[in-house]
Structure 1
Amino acid sequence: MNRRKFLSLTSGGVILAATASVATVATRSPAAALAPWDQAGVGYADPRMRALSYAILAPNPHNRQPWMVDLSQPDTVVLLADTDRLLPHTDPFNRQIIIGLGCFLEIMVMAAAEDGLAVDPDVFPEGADAAALDGRPVAIARFRADARVRPDPLFRHVMDRRSNKEPFDVDRTVSADAVTQIAMAAENRTRVDGSVTPESIASLRQLTTEALMIEIETPHTYKESVDLFRIGKAEIEANPDGIDFSGPMFETLGAAGLMTRDAALDTSSTIYKQGIAAVVENTDTAMGHLWLTTPGNTRADQINAGRDWVRLNLAATSLGVAMQPLSQALQEYPEMSDHYQLVHEMLAHDGETVQMLCRLGYGIRIDRSPRWPLEAKLI
């Protein structure tokens, strides 16, 4: 959500009526939940741990961080999905979760290359269910020394990569050349396309806004997001995943009882109405769009989509271009079926699956997303 929009939720009188303890709370920062960013690559003798300390910073749906790793075999990382961190309502077949796992794998491979190590992920070596993830490995990745390995130039942008959920500057255009440069970063058998024409921007602004409203106005899909709200430092540090609301404004609103999950679910509340205004402002300030498709929709296709998606995000970062995924129209639940069909008619070639869609633009610099420490993800 657009954090600045929530400034209009409280009048000066409400703020003045807040207690001194609320003012103190407003200064808090979830430092422990952000510590994994500062610890990436630091103090690990095992090159697998160094690589994984960067991989846990990968983008993933609703910041669920759905990865677990088994290091019991020498020079090997076995990646598994944490089936307690799925999104059954908005992502019923776990497609988006797998894309997040693909992002994780790509950053791990990049980080290993910094140590001169090649990594060869064997994806779903024991097979996979097309309907749902289970306990079988997502990938088995073996680390080996290889003198031919060269660092990936995109890796230097891992620490600055963000998914920007703020409004973009509508007075600053994104060039077609920038879109081409970003698209060239894909390497994993996906097709990437995009557009910055006024006609395309207008049609995709409308489509993504409509799809967003469907998700919000469908009770079970909206509640899935609201249940993952983390409001203020205490909640974020207790559960450094989900959708974080941190900083002085949200600390104050939460402490004053003005922002709660119940209020967010109440369609008559100011929080609900301002929340809608905030997210619609995001879709309405898109200054271009980028999308990624795969030949089919196998589990391997989904992993490849994730591997390339994070590459696109890093390439955009290198150019100073902000990205925000707008994947609501790609979600596979019944209420979204018409828009799912429409987005494929607009963006896919015959037989392709649109795996990711995002808006492009220029926006303010945003903070890092909370993360679980690497040690919490080890089996």
Structure 2
Amino acid sequence: MSKRTVKKTMTIILSCFGALLIIAFASLFIISGIFESPKYMEPWQKTYSQKFNDLRIRLVSHGVLAANGHNMQPWKIRLDKDDPMVFYLYADSDLLTKEVDPFARQMMITQGTFLEYVNIAGDQLGYNTAVELFPEGGYDEQKLLESMKTKPVAKITLTKGKPQSSPLYDFMFLSDTNRAAYQSTKLIPEQVKQLENINGDVNRSIKIFQDKETMDKLGSYAMKGAVIEAGVNRVMQESENIFRTNEHQKNKYRYGFSVEGQGTSGIMRHLMQGLVTLFPSMNSGKASSELFIKSTRTSVDNTPAYAMIITDDNSRISQVKSGMFYSRLILEAHRMGFAMQPLSQVLEEYPEMKELYSSIHRDYASGGGTIQMLVRLGKPTKEASRSMRRDVMELIVKE
């Protein structure tokens, strides 16, 4: 065979290979749903609330942006039929992640994050929001899921006031969680004081840690918690069940996890979505566990500070108020140029985590209090992608 023939043959082979490669990539983009409009992102638009005439729904459309456990957005809203200035917040027990949150503590914190976003939006729109927690009494803990369906977490009463431009309002439209590496820059004393003074409640405290000894210790707790969780099949399966692999699924469910949460964006997001849709094993079983541990290690190794929210007791009211404080902490941190990420595994209350849970409480809440939140804090190295959000009207209970 002549050199010319060989060269021509190689050119044909390379052309065919290139064509196949293009077809393969195009197929992944199509499977990912690249041509499907991301309706799940609509609530992040600042004009989204203006679609609704009912003031209460406008406020709820801000609340849905709040931080929430496993991005389940477990909120239900009942509009008062007689008073257009009153609505009720319920915890949606159908969206409880019962394996990692068997006692619904994280779910109650999630109710609080929602309420604080509503408060801030109310100020911005010119309405005072009076929040009454558990207006019809506390839950029957022996029949918890049933009780959640019948008893509201809060009654919210609105009164007309004057619009107050909140310095935190614009930061509600940023992602609440950033899993990327953080810069090594530590907080200055004034910043620590500002964040620790957010709570304004003697029964609850926010603590910031930056010294090397504590950083190493908390980093160790975070890693041990991640390793334990990665080894509990039913817990990992729960996370896999709410993972949305492509644009179609994200538009259908609008809650749960997606590749954005792993720090993937742009073209790579669609490539990964296409691959995971074709090969689900990439995000399940051993592969998922290893990725989770690796991600936690990256977080721990690139964290200049940790923050905790600690309460004197573990009542439902304290849990909800912790969520309200957490929203304030996130937004104040954003205003100061910091990002946050919960490292909640060590605080979860399933049996396999019991020993580690008890240990961290002996170290940091020895007086009998409860650590409601443990988060990493620092200057982000890159902007975080915003996660899926539900259509606000899905939250409204139809009576």
TM-score, normalisation: structure 2: 0.84
Q: Deviations over 1:179-234 (max 9, x none)?
A: 32222222455211111111111111111111111111111111111111112212
Give me the whole-angstrom Cα distance separating, in 2, the residues matched to 1:367 and 1:177: 29
Shift of 1:37: 0.9
Shift of 1:254: 3.4
AA partner of residue 140 (structure 2) = D
Checking the alignment, whether the CA contact within 8 Å between 1:187 and 1:308 is kept in structure 2 is no
Give me the whole-angstrom Cα distance separating, in 1, the residues matched to 2:207 and 2:274: 45
Give me the whole-angstrom Cα distance separating, in 2, the residues matched to 1:55 and 1:253: 30
Alignment of 1:172-251 (within 5 A): 172-188=185-201, 189-246=203-260, 247=265, 248-251=267-270
Give me the whole-angstrom Cα distance separating, in 1, the residues matched to 2:325 and 2:336: 17
1:320 to 334, 337, 340: 337
**Counterpart in the other structure of 1:143:** 158
In the alignment, structure 2 segments of 5+ residues that lack a partner are 1-17
Give me the whole-angstrom Cα distance separating, in 1, the residues matched to 2:49 and 2:279: 37
**Counterpart in the other structure of 1:56:** 64
Shift of 1:175: 3.3
Shift of 1:238: 1.3
Give me the whole-angstrom Cα distance separating, in 1, the residues matched to 2:276 and 2:61: 36
Shift of 1:15: 7.0
- What SS class does the counterpart of residue 374 from structure 2 fall into? strand
Shift of 1:42: 1.8
AA partner of residue 212 (structure 1) = A
Give me the whole-angstrom Cα distance separating, in 2, the residues matched to 1:130 and 1:287: 39
1:365 aligned onto 2:383: yes
Checking the alignment, whether the CA contact within 8 Å between 1:172 and 1:361 is kept in structure 2 is yes
**Counterpart in the other structure of 2:43:** 36
Shift of 1:167: 2.1
**Counterpart in the other structure of 1:294:** 311
Matched residue count: 363
Checking the alignment, whether the CA contact within 8 Å between 1:330 and 1:354 is kept in structure 2 is yes
Identity of matched residues, %: 27
**Counterpart in the other structure of 1:8:** none
1:69 aligned onto 2:83: no
Shift of 1:94: 0.4
| Inter-CA distance 333–144: structure 2 relative to 1 (3 Å threshold) | same
Q: Deviations over 1:212-263 (max 9, x none)?
A: 1111111111111111111221221111111121443242233235775444
Q: Which structure features the higher share of helix residues? A: 2
2:94 to 68, 84, 88: 84
**Counterpart in the other structure of 1:265:** 284
Q: Which has the higher mean CA deviation after the structures are superposed, 318-327 or 121-130?
A: 121-130
- What SS class does the counterpart of residue 346 from structure 1 fall into? helix
1:20 to 20, 26, 40: 26
Give me the whole-angstrom Cα distance separating, in 2, the residues matched to 1:62 and 1:161: 14
Give me the whole-angstrom Cα distance separating, in 1, the residues matched to 2:277 and 2:391: 31
In the alignment, structure 1 segments of 5+ residues that lack a partner are 1-11
| Inter-CA distance 17–217: structure 2 relative to 1 (3 Å threshold) | farther
- What SS class does the counterpart of residue 193 from structure 2 fall into? helix
Q: Which has the higher mean CA deviation after the structures are superposed, 77-86 or 151-160?
A: 151-160
Checking the alignment, whether the CA contact within 8 Å between 1:325 and 1:356 is kept in structure 2 is yes
Checking the alignment, whether the CA contact within 8 Å between 1:293 and 1:354 is kept in structure 2 is yes
- What SS class does the counterpart of residue 173 from structure 2 fall into? helix
AA partner of residue 217 (structure 1) = G
| Inter-CA distance 23–104: structure 2 relative to 1 (3 Å threshold) | closer
**Counterpart in the other structure of 1:336:** 353
**Counterpart in the other structure of 2:139:** 128
Checking the alignment, whether the CA contact within 8 Å between 2:204 and 2:311 is kept in structure 1 is yes
1:100 aligned onto 2:110: yes
Give me the whole-angstrom Cα distance separating, in 1, the residues matched to 2:339 and 2:44: 19
Checking the alignment, whether the CA contact within 8 Å between 2:43 and 2:390 is kept in structure 1 is yes
